[in-house]
Amino acid sequence: MKGHHARRISTVDVVIIGLGYVGLPLAQEAVRAGLRVTGLDIRQATVDGLNAGRSHVDDLSDADIAAMLAGGFRAVTNVAGIAGTGPDVIVICVPTPLSESDGPDLTAVRAATETAATLVRPGCTVILESTTYPGTTDEIVRPMLEKASGLSAGIGFHLAFSPERIDPGNETYGIRNTPKVVGGITPACTEAAADFYARVCDTVVRAKSAREAEMAKLLENTYRHVNIALVNEMAIFCHELGVDLWDAIRCAATKPFGFQAFYPGPGVGGHCIPIDPNYLSYKVR
């Protein structure tokens, strides 16, 4: 039975929507795992570049893209370019910038969900990786998919949230060796998404539901936001006091428990760290 299962899942068709710094490394690891992967991105230049073997993401080289193409990867700009009866797994990896109202701008998530809905077939698994507020998967993505497909989430198809943990430029941790948090809208949905991620990640961590998985991402980023903001404040008064903060951090970091080193920088860094706490306050309001 085990052999049969491995053979069945080895031909999994995966569609990844959004081929940026999150979607592209995921596509690379899925190809390496022997899965059939199609990438979908609305930017024609991105798609043309990838199909020609050119990377637009710092963490992947042109040689990496060439290896993906050799492994069967193709990029397309719309669902018309996706062959077959529909993918087994659809992963949404599109950006969620801040809207005018300080909540997340879900324009790209909604558009990607509309695209995913046209590909949903009975038994497939849809996973949202875009950072957002708790409840998005269940309250926004789920009804859109159900309405368009005529299937019920948790019954006709699986739906889950799995926060991206890409750290651009990190040469130690990538998709494969960074634990992957997964939370479905039902326990069966969690398991279906976990089955997929077990192919591309060494460790899969199951959340109680999609909401806990969504919250985990905000907790991780808010933790960094608060601590980076703290050392930036300390840098100001250490300068006024004539104290070398870097040396103080070096000393504090020798404590084997209860402390993690954060360093001063220009603001709090990254594209999401300064934004994500707003998603939390938006939802709570």
pLDDT digits (tens, 9 = 90+) for 119-169: 999 999 999 999 988 999 999 999 999 999 999 999 999 999 999 999 888
pLDDT digits (tens, 9 = 90+) for 10-23: 568 999 999 999 99
- Tell whether the model's pLDDT for residue 232 goes beyond 70: yes
pLDDT digits (tens, 9 = 90+) for 175-219: 999 999 999 999 999 999 999 999 999 999 999 999 999 999 999
DSSP 100: T
DSSP 104: B
- For the residues of 141-157, what is the DSSP string, one character each? IHHHHHHHH---BTTTB
- Report how far residue 127's alpha carbon sits from residue 23's, in angstroms, rounded to the nearest whole number: 12
- Report how far residue 143's alpha carbon sits from residue 228's, in angstroms, rounded to the nearest whole number: 38
Strand 158-161 and strand 180-184: pairing? antiparallel
CA distances 151 to 56, 120, 127, 129, 249, Å, are: 36, 9, 16, 21, 54
CA distances 59 to 17, 38, 165, Å, are: 18, 19, 14
Count CB neighbours of 6 within 10 A: 9
More confident residue, 103 or 131: 131
Query: Which domains occur in the chain, in start order?
Result: 2-209 (3.40.50.720), 216-284 (no CATH)
Closest by Cα among 103, 93, 97 to 21: 93
Indicate the pLDDT class of residue 85, thresholds 50, 70 and 90: confident
pLDDT digits (tens, 9 = 90+) for 70-81: 999 999 999 888
- Report how far residue 110's alpha carbon sits from residue 267's, in angstroms, rounded to the nearest whole number: 30
Which residues belong to the active site?
Answer: 272
pLDDT digits (tens, 9 = 90+) for 22-70: 999 999 999 999 999 999 999 999 999 999 999 999 999 999 999 999 9
Mean pLDDT of the chain: 90
